[in-house]
Structure 1
Amino acid sequence: MSQLKIWDLHLKYDGPVTKEFMEGKSNLAKSIAKEEGVIWKIWTYEKDTNHYGSTYLFKNIEYLEKYKKMHIKRLHAIGITDITDHVFDIFENLSKINNAPLS
């Protein structure tokens, strides 16, 4: 059984998406790339709405829970409270057939 975990996060952000906003997110992305246990993160948004999200792959549930606790606090600190998330196990054998980047 795989220890890998997916964390799927959705939120609403009503602020402007400015050049400064994107530069800040770029810096955040660089710091996330160094987080222990994070294998990858995909940043998502729904065009012309205030819906944003992320899908992460973690090495295991311990790394995920540690990061999740810190990140939810970070989102709350900047005023984002409309957050939904799910933690998923992975059917690795099926996902590999479809070229999922699991390593």
Structure 2
Amino acid sequence: MSTQKIWDIHLTYDGPVTEEFLQGAKQLAESIAQEPGVVWKIWTHEAGTNHFGSTYLFKDLEHLEAYKAMHIPRLNAIGIEVVSDHVFDVMEELSQINRAPVGTSS
């Protein structure tokens, strides 16, 4: 197992997905790209619903926990409810067989 960690988070957002919302999300994405320990993030949305999600790869658990402690209150402050979140170890050898972008050089 690697020291890298996956954070999988599922959210609900009941507001409209407007151009203003998307611009705010873009600014948030640019901010997240600068966060220490974030290797990558995938944004997800289930079409036709208020279900959103994200899957992150973090350098290690310490960075993940620091980010999570800051990010969940930030989401709540803009009306986004966290439905569930899970922290996973990366099974690096198996993941690399399936071309996952993980590894100690990330």
Q: TM-score range by the shorter chain?
A: over 0.9
- Partner of 2:31 in structure 1? 31
The CA distance in 2 between the partners of 1:22 and 1:80, in whole Å, is 14
AA aligned to 1:39 is V
Which structure 1 residue ranges, 4+ long, deviate > 3 Å from structure 2?
A: none
Aligned counterparts of 2:99 and 2:70: Cα–Cα separation in 1 = 31
Give the Cα–Cα distance (whole angstroms) in 2 for the partners of residues 45 and 61 of structure 1: 25
Task: For structure 2, list consecutive stretches of 5 or more residues without a partner in the other structure.
Answer: none
- The one-letter code matched in structure 2 to 1:64 is L
Sequence identity percentage: 66
Aligned to 2:43: 43
Give the 5 Å matches for 1:1-103. Answer: 1-102=1-102, 103=106
The residue type paired with residue 47 of structure 2 is K
By how many angstroms is 1:78 displaced? 1.4
Distance 2:4 2:29 in 1: 21
What TM-score, normalized by structure 1, do the two folds share?
0.96
Letter in 2 for 1:85: D
Please, which runs of 5 or more residues in structure 1 have no aligned partner? none
The alignment covers a number of residue pairs equal to 103
* CA deviations over 1:34-93 (Å, ceiling 9, x no partner): 000000000000000000000000000000000001010101111223421000001100
C-alpha distance 82-61 of structure 1, shift in aligned 2 (>3 A):
closer
